[in-house]
Structure 1
Amino acid sequence: MEPMLATPAAGPAELPRGPAWAYEVKWDGVRALADTTSDRLRLWSRNEREITAAYPELQGLAALPGALLDGEIVLMADGIPSFTALAERMHVRDPRRAEALAAQRPVTFLVFDVLRLDGIDLTRSTYDERRDTLARLALPDRVELSPVYPDGQELWEVTKQLGLEGVVAKRRSSPYVPGRRSPDWVKAPHRRTRTALVGGWREETNGSGRMGAVLFGARDAAGDLRFLGRAGSGLTGRRAAELQKLLVPRDNSPFDDEVPAVDARGTRWCEPTVVLDVLYLARNPTGRLRQPVVRAVRTDTDADPWEQQ
């Protein structure tokens, strides 16, 4: 089952207001569904890939009967979720390596919704009813209930001061609609992130042969791969080396629109199969991202469409 998705807001002024809405922190981590309906714990990513092996410290969730919980896996650093620290955990599938990382820097599962409990489907219940159900659960170690707040504007200011990712407004009377981007959930981030497909890479300018920048894009409604930009920031030596191993070379550009000559010069093209998480300020009128920074390779989600801001 795919999780319910929020509709993006342009900023805090676009967040819905009033008593019909509840507000939560937008956490900077990995979205996951925790499933115990088969009498064991299985963790599913947003694109329905199983990620259970990466997070052995969350096995306590198996004690919850016939449950399907929605939440965010985060790794805290000084009380703030660190996506950079979590990136090291995302792709680990070797049990011994996962156990070692869990002992060093354990994650927390911040649960914010319940779709099923004791085998009973709760998706048609209201948001308030589902949250009441969550509040009655005895949550295991490394699992916490994501708080709910009554004032979205106040939460916006607090999350900005603390360096958190943003705010999500949720209509109190709304059901849970799996796999849909619903206007009943509205998200407003302090900084923008998106996932994109790698279409090529360029070497460092010092002649080392190492990766110095990547070119990336997104598919539009017609399925064409369109150019979003080029980024070198965030490509540390280790991250660049790991990414370079994943790329499959090709002879020509995978982009269906024209890549500017200043970006295409010296580029080694690749098949657009690897998904990156990118942080950026805004998009210019042509759709290109301003000041993009590479954060991580993503296997837990698909690339966002071109239209996604």
Structure 2
Amino acid sequence: MRPMLATPGDLRTGPPAGPAWVHEIKWDGIRLLADAADSRLRLLTRSGRDIAVALPELHGLAQVCDDVLLDGEAVAMVAGRPSFSHVVDRVHTASAVAASRLARTRPVTYMVFDLLRLDGMDLTGLPWSARRAALEDLLEGVPGVQPSPVFDDGRQLLAATADQRLEGVVSKRRASPYRAGVRSTDWLKFPHRGRVSVVIGGWRPQTGTVGRLGAVHVGVPVDDGAGRPLRDDTGALRLDYRGRVGAGLAGRAGEQLQALLVGAPTAPYPFTADIPRPEAAGSTWLEPQVVIDVATLEVTSDGRLRQPSYQGVRTDLTPEDLLEQT
């Protein structure tokens, strides 16, 4: 089964109000389906990979009952806040011995927000409120596991999560069924994103098209050690790679940006480090001239933008101006 997905909500209006809706914290973790049957536990990522070996502290889920399927997020807390990089490190652990050690020093908590199957019964057609009531009764006292808290006032929760620098809010219709694999408007997500400026160093076409903008490769200038942007022997600006931005490029916004990029001079590869061949495939490299703003959840420890979304062109900035923000 694939998890149900939330549709982006409108941050200008905020989470919906009224008794038909309930609101949860959007945890900065890894989405997992926990499938326990016959005393065997599988922890399934969105791609379907079983990572149960990496999270032994959650193996108590196998003893909850004879058969259960849960939906939730594995969250790693650091200094009282979820750390995405820490939980990513955990789920990529393939050694049972290393996982056991990390479970003691860097444990995760499974924040559960839905109950999809119980003792062979498919519960996905029931309203959220009924599934939630059964979930709370089921998980009491399970180590490393807790139901994700729910709140009646979504706008107040959105403000509180912003103050606490949490990822955001998910709002859910109390009457909604669980629609596996569907991105539904019965669930609305309101993430808090920072905004950063980056330079476009290349672009690649949309998959299955010829010449239609699918994503842009972005980076930031590199300090040459003397407070100036690093350049190569030809004088071309060099960039530290920050990732690929595809979200936000649909429709007119993408068409306008593509028209701008078509007029930009092509150039040799502008980034200081190689990027994976699948990411580079089919790309056109450009002179680093165009500055854009992107919204992003965070900049990871290796300098990548997490879930970046295109916001617009910054005609008031030059690439050299960005040296101050790196």
Give me the TM-score of the superposition, normalised by structure 2: 0.67
Counterpart CA distance in 2 for 1:288 and 1:161 is 23
1:182 corresponds to which of 181, 184, 194: 184
Counterpart CA distance in 1 for 2:298 and 2:201 is 12
Q: Shift of residue 307 of structure 1?
A: 9.3
Alignment correspondent of 1:280:
none
Alignment correspondent of 1:149:
151
1:78–1:269 Cα change, 3 Å: closer
Alignment correspondent of 1:271:
277
Matched residue type, 1:86: V
Q: Shift of residue 157 of structure 1?
A: 1.2
1:231–1:88 Cα change, 3 Å: farther
Q: Shift of residue 218 of structure 1?
A: 8.1
Q: Shift of residue 38 of structure 1?
A: 5.0
Counterpart CA distance in 2 for 1:220 and 1:307 is 15
Matched residue type, 2:157: L
1:173–1:263 Cα change, 3 Å: farther
2:139, 2:146 within 8 Å by CA — same for their partners in 1? no
Q: CA RMSD in A?
A: 3.7
SS, match of residue 13 in structure 1: coil
Alignment correspondent of 1:50:
50
SS, match of residue 115 in structure 1: strand
Alignment correspondent of 1:102:
103
Rg larger for: 2
Q: Shift of residue 88 of structure 1?
A: 2.0
SS, match of residue 41 in structure 1: strand
1:281-292 aligned at under 5 Å gives the runs: 289=294
1:26-175 aligned at under 5 Å gives the runs: 26-37=26-37, 39-65=39-65, 66-139=67-140, 140-175=142-177
Counterpart CA distance in 2 for 1:215 and 1:153 is 39
1:12, 1:153 within 8 Å by CA — same for their partners in 2? no
Structure 1: unaligned runs, 5 residues or longer: 194-212, 234-243, 245-255, 275-284, 298-302
Matched residue type, 1:271: R
Count of residues in correspondence between the two structures: 254
Matched residue type, 2:270: R
Q: Shift of residue 230 of structure 1?
A: 2.4
Q: Shift of residue 53 of structure 1?
A: 1.3
Counterpart CA distance in 2 for 1:85 and 1:226 is 28
Describe the superposition over 1:47-98 as per-residue Cα deviations: whole angstroms up to 9, x where unpaired: 1111111111100110122111000100112222111322321211111111
1:21, 1:170 within 8 Å by CA — same for their partners in 2? yes
Counterpart CA distance in 1 for 2:298 and 2:220 is 6
Structure 2: unaligned runs, 5 residues or longer: 223-240, 242-257, 281-289, 313-326
Counterpart CA distance in 1 for 2:92 and 2:116 is 26
Runs (4+) of structure 1 exceeding 6 A deviation are 213-219, 256-260, 285-288, 303-309
Q: Give percent identity, aligned residues only.
A: 41
Matched residue type, 1:178: A
